[in-house]
């Protein structure tokens, strides 16, 4: 080999080596980049923000969780949009509450195709709505009782373990930790609400969403309409509520963040009660708000109840 040929070969080897090095480093940097952004995780879709929070607590970082409805949305009669359908594409699981909460879910499910789904309330004994046009129908607001929302956690654990068997241990440990927090929350709410004098333990809201909470903590409830799917304020309903508030001398009444509180403020004016503010029930607050998790939502609501019904106890 003459010197010219040697130099040429050497140059080719150098170029080859450089190309190889480039390939290796570009692959490596791609890997680092993707781990910085987070690899594409399988994602799970929930119908509303509260279920998204519960699902995140059990899933940990094994699934990305998305909610179809946004914070503050009315969820019972939600009108889904074409962009909601696009968002659902590729979901590995659809999580819904059931008990008639999401009146739009069958239409949504059939529009997005075959996403496997889990109904968190399935198999549980619901409280039935009393009176009014919804007589005998199940009350869907199970998550409003910390004790009963443990049932949802077990359902999530079961569903996630089925679609991701490698994650069973993670899901179990997350579910147990979350259930402990819910048990603690139950104790906390009980200790607060038990301080309210029995004659003042009447919770007046817009929607009849507090049946589970009321039953579990020995309260009575009264409301303007049974479920938000039918937010019609009839003069008969208003008059009956005003009469009850006057008769029981209820000091403070409330409404919820996902509906208009106009009618309830009218009831307050007519009955002499104070309007005590809006509860978070069917939706979390925005992430920087006071109820960005189910645990915070319950704590926010109980503070509002205490302030309205037992202000002298100064729960703050
Ligand atoms: Zn509701």
What pLDDT does 230 receive?
A: 65
Return mean pLDDT, the chain. 88
Q: How far is the CA of 48 from the centre of ligand 1 (A)?
A: 11
This prediction has a pTM of 0.85
Residue-wise over 240-274: b if at least 16 C-beta within 10 A, else e?
A: ebbebbeeeebbbbbbbbbbebebbeebbeebebe
pLDDT at position 312: 75
Gap between the Cα atoms of 107 and 92, Å rounded:
18
* The pLDDT of residue 10: 54
pLDDT at position 130 is 85
Residue-level pLDDT at 236: 87
Centre a 10 Å sphere on the Cβ of residue 66 and count the other Cβ atoms it contains: 14
Q: What is the predicted pLDDT for the residue at 14?
A: 52
Residue 77 Cα to ligand 1 midpoint, Å, equals: 10
Distance 106 CA to ligand 1 centre (A): 18
Low-confidence ranges of the chain (pLDDT < 70): 1-39, 230-231, 314-316
Among residues 309, 280, 296, 277, the alpha carbon closest in space to that of 194 is found at 309
Q: How many Å apart are CA 284 and CA 292, to the nearest integer?
A: 5
For the 43-189 domain, the top CATH level (class) is: alpha beta
Question: Ligand 1 centre and the CA of 206: distance in Å?
Answer: 10
Nearest to 306 by CA among 271, 254, 230: 254
195-313: CATH topology: Rossmann fold (3.40.50)
The CATH 3.40.50.1980 domain(s) of the chain lie at 43-189, 195-313
How many angstroms is it from 281 CA to the middle of ligand 1?
7
């Amino acid at each position: 080999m003459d010197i010219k040929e040697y130099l040429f070969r050497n140059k080719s080897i150098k170029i080859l080596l450089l190309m190889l090095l480039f390939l290796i480093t570009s692959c490596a940097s791609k890997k680092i980049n993707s781990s910085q952004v987070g690899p594409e995780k399988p994602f799970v879709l929930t119908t509303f923000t509260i279920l998204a929070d519960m699902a995140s607590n059990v899933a940990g970082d094994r699934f990305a969780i998305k909610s179809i409805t946004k914070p503050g949305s009315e969820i019972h009669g939600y009108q889904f949009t074409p962009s909601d359908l696009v968002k659902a594409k590729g979901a590995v699981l659809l999580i819904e509450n059931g008990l008639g909460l999401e009146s739009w879910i069958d239409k949504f499910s059939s529009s997005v195709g075959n996403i496997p789904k889990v109904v968190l309330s399935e198999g549980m004994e619901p409280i039935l709505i009393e009176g009014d046009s919804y007589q005998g129908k199940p009350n869907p607001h199970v998550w409003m009782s910390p004790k009963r929302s443990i049932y949802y956690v077990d359902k999530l654990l079961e569903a996630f373990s089925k679609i991701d068997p490698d994650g069973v241990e993670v899901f179990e440990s997350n579910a147990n930790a979350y259930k402990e927090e819910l048990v603690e929350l139950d104790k906390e709410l009980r200790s607060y609400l038990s301080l309210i004098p029995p004659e003042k333990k009447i919770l007046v809201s817009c929607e009849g969403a507090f049946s589970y909470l009321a039953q579990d903590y020995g309260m009575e409830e009264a409301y303007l309409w049974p479920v938000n799917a039918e937010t019609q304020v009839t003069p008969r309903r208003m008059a009956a509520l005003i009469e009850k508030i006057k008769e029981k001398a209820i000091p403070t009444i409330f409404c919820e963040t996902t509906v208009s509180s106009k009618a309830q403020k009218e009831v307050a004016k007519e009955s002499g009660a104070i309007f005590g503010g809006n509860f978070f029930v069917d939706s979390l607050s925005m992430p920087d708000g006071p109820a960005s998790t189910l645990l915070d939502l319950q704590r926010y609501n109980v503070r509002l109840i205490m302030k309205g019904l037992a202000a002298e106890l100064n729960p703050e």
